[in-house]
Amino acid sequence: MNLKQGRIAGEAAATDRRRRPRGNMLVFITAATIGLIALIAFFGLGYVRLLGTNNEQRTAIEAAALAAARDLSMIAIDTPDYGFVSLSDAAPVGSTTTAADNFYTPVRSINGIIGTLRLDMIIADKLGDVNLKEIIKKDLAKALAAQTLLAAELNKAIAPGYVSKDLSGNNIEVYKDAETAYQQNGIRMTGSSDYVAGSLKLSLGAINGGSITNIGLPNPNGWANVPAPAQQGGKYMSYMNIPYDGTDFVFAGVGDAIKLVSEKNWTPVVAGLPYQIATVVRAEADQKMNDARNANGYTVHAAACAQPANVVDPKPAPGALTFSFPDGLCPEITKPGDMLTYADFNKNGTHCSYQYSDGGDFPFPMGGATLRDRTWEFDPLDQNVGNVFRKSLFDWWKRAGTKLDMASARAMLIDPAFKFKNPNPLMVDWKTHAKLGSAQIYVLGQIPNGNIHVYRVRPSDGLITYDAKQHEPVEYLVAGENQLYSESIDAVKKSAVGKLKLGPFNFVPDLKEVNKMSLEDTWDVYIRDQVYQPGKSTGGRHAGEPLDNDDTAMAPLNMQFVAHGLGAKSYIAGPKGTGKTPILSNQSDFAETSGFPASYYKQYATGSGKRPTYLTNGTAVDIRFRRQVEAGTLHKILGDKTGYIGEKYVDPTLPAIVPSPGTDATGDGDIDGGDDD
């Protein structure tokens, strides 16, 4: 190798020695970068998996809370004062609610009950009726007692192993369903995790600051008196006291749909409220995560809250309030509101009976039903016609729920537009058969025509409608079992209607003597509240539902009197009688000794399933005025000197005969008008 070549080789070697450290550094940097990326990827994957785990557990615990809230919405209990009560309304469709007559009964939501009472309190205040407000306050205490019973059942329902029933009798296992929902939404991204058995815990509470319910503010809204923070979107807020006229009203946390609510706002109890029911369910559970780097793994705890829902019953036919005047109008009572202001109905010391039918619908079944005294529950208010009417009016309002228009309810009582219409014609022929089975009818003279005044709540807007139609004296209503029946004898005395002579007649069936009768200036008042006591356990055969308008064939009855100490009459059903003259009945609004056919009595329908009066208005409350008749010589048959007009009409196709005085109208060989006794 020459000198030049050696120099070149030396320079190359030196260059190689300079490049080798830089190449090693590049390899190191590359390797380090790859390692860092791998490390970041490893931790990134773990972080992503951790996020996924958290999200999936969140989904699982939310599913558990929603499942529990759904189940809680379906639980209903039968309470002594309000019948079936739940967090949600329900139409009469569930077999569990079947009353003794085999028809289903409706379920009332606790928020609907509270909203209805607040609405009714506003109407009473707008009427300026202190007694009516006191009656409503008494009922609020019953509502809160029902709420307490419901709260106890809900708290039991969330415990492991507890079994409730839905309206069809199916099992509701709140804890089991929540746990199943949690496990079915199990954690998958970790590749390995386990639910910590028994760690699911359900608790009931409330929401600080409240939430929107689905109970709308009453109409007109200007009467509602609800502060802005206590309402949202025209609906009441929950867990806020929304008093009216010094009475507290608090709504539960129940909305129009089952939904999740913020866990941060959940609390076992909202401080400062006069009362409340815990409805918002909090679910919490633990999940054990397996980790390759940690032999013991780790535990993740999660919680979520959900609010139940209320499906509002549309109440298509809550029932009618009727005023019956079979003997013509009583001039002292010209419109419904006069019941609240007429002095003789509202003064102290004018007691009326306050009763219920025990053992069936009075007077049916024959020999089984008895009218018994009911304890007066509104002391110190007097037990008079006015206050019994107030209670019955309020019961009718409750049937309409929160959709009742308050202005319309007030107008119905005081507005001239709702004044009772006169019957048309004012007077009618009083007719009877010449003899039993006769093919002829006789005109006894003219008597006042009767009509019935029907008030209904229109389902579309809650407005009250009014109608009047012909009404017969023999259209008797049974008194529903366990419901309210009240009578006041001589309730209106010295009426402006005056007395009306009804004779002398030259013909009266089965009585061969002059009969001088007269319609008196005294009226008796009967109140039947068929919706007084709701419920399967305490509401009697029909659970406090309205009376159907269909007639049911039944044998005529006879009755015997049993004193009860209030000056009115109490009756026990007896065996079939031989029958009395059909033109007069005894002084009772059941005509118990007259032998009238059962077709004269309005009775409850028979059947099963959905009750007919759910979709078609039946009679919820009836106030019936009967004008006394001086029986004259007919008292020998009637058994009393005072009675009521019985039959007015017969088959109009038969020829009507108006016999002249002193003729033999009966064809028995005797000139009628003589005394054959």
Q: Mind spelling out the 3-state secondary structure of 392-458? A: HHHHHHHHHHHHCCHHHHHHHHHCHHHCCCCCCCCEEEEEEECCCCCCCEEEEEEEECCEEEEEEEC
Measured over all CA atoms, what is the biggest interatomic distance in the chain, rounded to whole angstroms?
Answer: 180
Q: What is the pTM of this model?
A: 0.84
Confidence of residue 600 (pLDDT cuts 50, 70, 90): confident
- Tell me the Ramachandran region of residue 300: left when phi exceeds 0, alpha when psi lies from -120 to 50, beta otherwise: beta
**Over the Cα atoms of the chain, what is R_g?**
39
Q: Specify the residue for token string 């802005």.
A: 228
Task: Taking residues 493-515, report their average pLDDT.
Answer: 72
d(CA 269, CA 272): 9
d(CA 333, CA 419): 9
pLDDT tens for 421-437 read 999 999 988 877 655 45
pLDDT at 294 over 60: yes
pLDDT at 144 over 70: yes
Confidence of residue 538 (pLDDT cuts 50, 70, 90): very high
- What is residue 473's predicted lDDT score, i.e. its pLDDT? 87
d(CA 318, CA 537): 21
Average pLDDT score, the chain: 83
Task: Taking residues 53-60, report their average pLDDT.
Answer: 72
pLDDT tens for 21-52 read 555 666 556 655 665 554 444 444 443 444 44
Task: Taking residues 253-280, report their average pLDDT.
Answer: 96
Q: What is the 3-state secondary structure (H, E, C) of 371-407?
A: EEECCCCCCCCCCCHHHHHHHHHHHHHHHHHHHCCHH
Confidence of residue 444 (pLDDT cuts 50, 70, 90): confident
Output the CA–CA distances (angstroms, integers) from residue 225 to 218, 237, 241, 325, 657, in the order listed: 10, 13, 12, 39, 65
d(CA 601, CA 580): 17
- What is residue 419's predicted lDDT score, i.e. its pLDDT? 94
Q: Specify the higher pLDDT residue, 601 or 506.
A: 601
Residue 540 in tokens: 């009697």
- What is residue 434's predicted lDDT score, i.e. its pLDDT? 53
Q: Specify the higher pLDDT residue, 486 or 290.
A: 486
- What is residue 580's predicted lDDT score, i.e. its pLDDT? 45
pLDDT at 651 over 90: no
Residue 620 in tokens: 């919820």
Confidence of residue 649 (pLDDT cuts 50, 70, 90): low
- What is residue 55's predicted lDDT score, i.e. its pLDDT? 66
Rounded to 5 degrees, what are φ and ψ at 671?
A: -75, 115
pLDDT tens for 177-192 read 999 999 988 665 445 6
Confidence of residue 16 (pLDDT cuts 50, 70, 90): low
Q: What percent of the chain has pLDDT over 70?
A: 75
- What is residue 186's predicted lDDT score, i.e. its pLDDT? 67
Confidence of residue 293 (pLDDT cuts 50, 70, 90): low
d(CA 1, CA 23): 30
